[in-house]
Structure 1
Amino acid sequence: MASHVLFRGSSFKESKNTRSSGAAGLRFRCVNALKISYKTMTGNYPNLLRVTKNERLRLGLAPVIAKHGLHELDIFSDSALIHLLETHPRDQLQAFTMGTDWENRHEWQPVDTAGASGVDLFNAVSKGHLWFNIFRVHLFHSPFRDLLNRLFSELTEANPDFHCFNQTGTLIVSSPKALVYYHADAQPNLLWHVRGSKRVWVYPAEDAELIDQELMEDIFASYIDEEVPYRREFDEKAIVFDLNPGEVISWPQNSPHRIRNVGGLNVSFSTIYETEPSSRRKLTYCANRLLRRTYHLPARSTKETGISARLKCLTYRGFRKLGLVPVPPRRAYITRLRINPEAAGGFEPIDDGPVLTEFSKKEFVLKKDRWGRLAAVAQAKPR
């Protein structure tokens, strides 16, 4: 890891889950990572995961960079990306632009992709100031399904105690100088970098100075997105990495992080997964939120093991089964910007008012209220 670390904050401590030694510190076992023959996987390369013994035991638990071979696959070529952008469902593709001030996350704005071809999208992101999240690529494109299965199969082979489920794949394509604001993910993920170069700031997990408990509860319960307030003094606790093609980075669950692209069109494959400990943490935080905010019970402990923690999680599961857990509101993405590969930044303003992005059109419609203001109204889900 040392060869990639640019700066290590003096206050950084590994998550409590990383302090166990050897395989005993990683009580995971892959459930649906099937042992697939190489003939059914993407390409005929040797192992895509190229890690040392120390890296494979820490991958997913600590800030660590390891090697992989995804950048050798042709599914990440220009032509392959254009085809994917052309054919991927637009309600599974989010486009955003952003500013340059890390503390002004409100400059993170959605951009509509309506009417843009795959070539338009590729040219816009290649030359502009955009960030594309292409969700669930493994469900719509068989090479990415095979790749996802292969990666988790190799993770299991590298460490038989790796135990995970609900694996999903998101392809991230972003402009040469794009950035992602300070945020924390709910579930563990591995970021497999394929093209371009990034700088990544990783901060300690479970540090109340960096992200407070109530915000983390809201993230777990899907009441807010992952972005959280950032202050520059947080950087004293960060480890800073440079990430290049052929490298995968991991960090402990819920570690806040931020990312800036530093060169070239950037392409990464983000694999999100759950583990028994990560699901238990989610239940703990969701239970605390429900019991304290809805039923006004004194529930603040984030302890994830023991009788009281187990009872709290069982209570939450029971309430959810009985329909007593409020459903978070769905979020509509409304914008005044649309893709234009010829415009500066890869987008242009929409002159005739705000529109719903393609990402939101399946779930919402825009309607005027009695004062003539446009508002997004959720469409009833089919039974």
Structure 2
Amino acid sequence: MNAHSPSFGLASVQRSTFDDDGRQTFAKHYPEGPHRLRHRLGDHCLLELDALAELAEALPDTSVEYNRGDLPIGIDGKPRSNGLTIAETIRQVAKSNSWAVLKNVEQAAPYEALLTSLLDEISVEIEAKTGALLTPQAYIFISSPNAVTPYHFDPEHNILLQIRGSKTMTQFPAGDARFAADEVHEGYHTGGPRELSWDESFMNAAQTFPLEPGEAVYVPVMAPHFVRNGPQSSVSLSITWRSEWSYAESETRAFNHILRKFGLTPKAPSRWPQTNRAKSLGFRVLRKAGLAG
């Protein structure tokens, strides 16, 4: 069920958000190469703090997550609450020592329109590489000064657009078991957490992307990363999508989880452009038969 839309309307984007050079850069590196982009989204009215507080109150509880911001890079399980409501957290973000994420904001019609307009600009480049653009979703991050989003991974193709304030995203190679063990991937795809164990030695392989307003970064599927906010409060918009390849990667991990229960040591899924089709189909058969739990 869609969330009630906030009371304001959608201000149309008057010009393209990504220019021709940006789309060419994206096409060159997508889907496996992390890279920086420029955007012209600017201070969109839907991304002002009052609008975001109103949106957060309209979204279902399952679509809102917010926690203390003074976290280490690596944590064990979910972080602690900050003791505030979500609206208080957002409106007081400059001093609430918190980070918040509003998930699947496309549940509200104005945000769905914004997401659609952004992905329409790069859909040709996406579909040329990974086929149909599936399951478009958007997330909004609101962070206090110096807040940390701990080390984790995500199953989607993702572009993070910095809107207000600054932050630094630090990424690590996707699919490399040094940075996220195969068993951790498999656990995530069968209902486990996305947070990962941290080791300071990982920094030897880090790619660091400082982001100011008007800058964006592409994150490959399941690339481990953490984010450290700058000295001011921050708002970022994450636009995500899935592909048949990303779903096959997820299903192969879940299938491997089942194989591991029988004492096997399954091979991890191959990265794009390999298809991982056999295990993906195997998992779909088991799921349809009710045997994938």
TM range (shorter): 0.7 to 0.9
The structure with the largest alpha-carbon Rg is 1
Deviation at 1:81, TM superposition (A): 2.6
Among 173, 177, 181, the alignment partner of 2:146 is 177
Partner of 1:233: 201
- Aligned residue type for 2:12: G
CA gap 1:84/1:104 in 2 versus in 1, 3 angstroms: closer
Equivalent residue runs for 1:251-330 within 5 Å: 251-293=219-261, 295-297=262-264, 299-303=266-270, 309-326=276-293
Figure out how many residues of one structure are paired with residues of the other and give that number.
281
Query: Partner of 2:42: helix, strand, or coil?
Result: helix
Cα deviation code 1:19-74 (max 9, x no counterpart): xxxxxxxxxxxxxxxxxxxxx97414110122152333324431101011222422
Deviation at 1:167, TM superposition (A): 0.9
Deviation at 1:236, TM superposition (A): 0.4
Deviation at 1:184, TM superposition (A): 1.4
CA gap 1:221/1:187 in 2 versus in 1, 3 angstroms: farther
Contact 2:174–2:222 (8 Å) recurs in 1 = yes
Equivalent residue runs for 1:1-383 within 5 Å: 42-50=11-19, 51-105=22-76, 108-111=79-82, 116=85, 118=87, 120-140=88-108, 142-157=109-124, 161=128, 163=131, 164-222=133-191, 224-293=192-261, 295-297=262-264, 299-303=266-270, 309-326=276-293
- Aligned residue type for 1:154: E
Deviation at 1:220, TM superposition (A): 2.0
Quick one: distance in 2 between partners of 1:272 and 1:306? 19
Quick one: distance in 1 between partners of 2:274 and 2:242? 22
- Aligned residue type for 2:222: N
Deviation at 1:242, TM superposition (A): 0.6
List runs of 5+ in structure 2 lacking aligned partners: 1-8
List runs of 5+ in structure 1 lacking aligned partners: 1-39, 327-383
Deviation at 1:159, TM superposition (A): 5.7
Query: Partner of 1:49: helix, strand, or coil?
Result: coil
Cα deviation code 1:175-213 (max 9, x no counterpart): 111101111112222211111100111111122211111
Cα deviation code 1:315-370 (max 9, x no counterpart): 211111111111xxxxxxxxxxxxxxxxxxxxxxxxxxxxxxxxxxxxxxxxxxxx
What's the RMSD between the two structures over aligned residues? 2.7
Contact 1:130–1:174 (8 Å) recurs in 2 = yes
CA gap 1:95/1:301 in 2 versus in 1, 3 angstroms: closer
Contact 2:106–2:112 (8 Å) recurs in 1 = yes
Deviation at 1:157, TM superposition (A): 4.3
Contact 2:151–2:197 (8 Å) recurs in 1 = yes
Contact 1:82–1:122 (8 Å) recurs in 2 = yes
Work out the percentage of aligned pairs sharing the same amino acid: 24
Query: Partner of 1:127: helix, strand, or coil?
Result: coil
Quick one: distance in 1 between partners of 2:26 and 2:188? 29
Quick one: distance in 1 between partners of 2:13 and 2:127? 23
Deviation at 1:262, TM superposition (A): 0.9
Partner of 1:28: none
Query: Partner of 1:279: helix, strand, or coil?
Result: helix
CA gap 1:91/1:52 in 2 versus in 1, 3 angstroms: closer
Deviation at 1:168, TM superposition (A): 0.9
TM-score, normalisation: structure 1: 0.67
CA gap 1:166/1:207 in 2 versus in 1, 3 angstroms: same
CA gap 1:107/1:288 in 2 versus in 1, 3 angstroms: closer
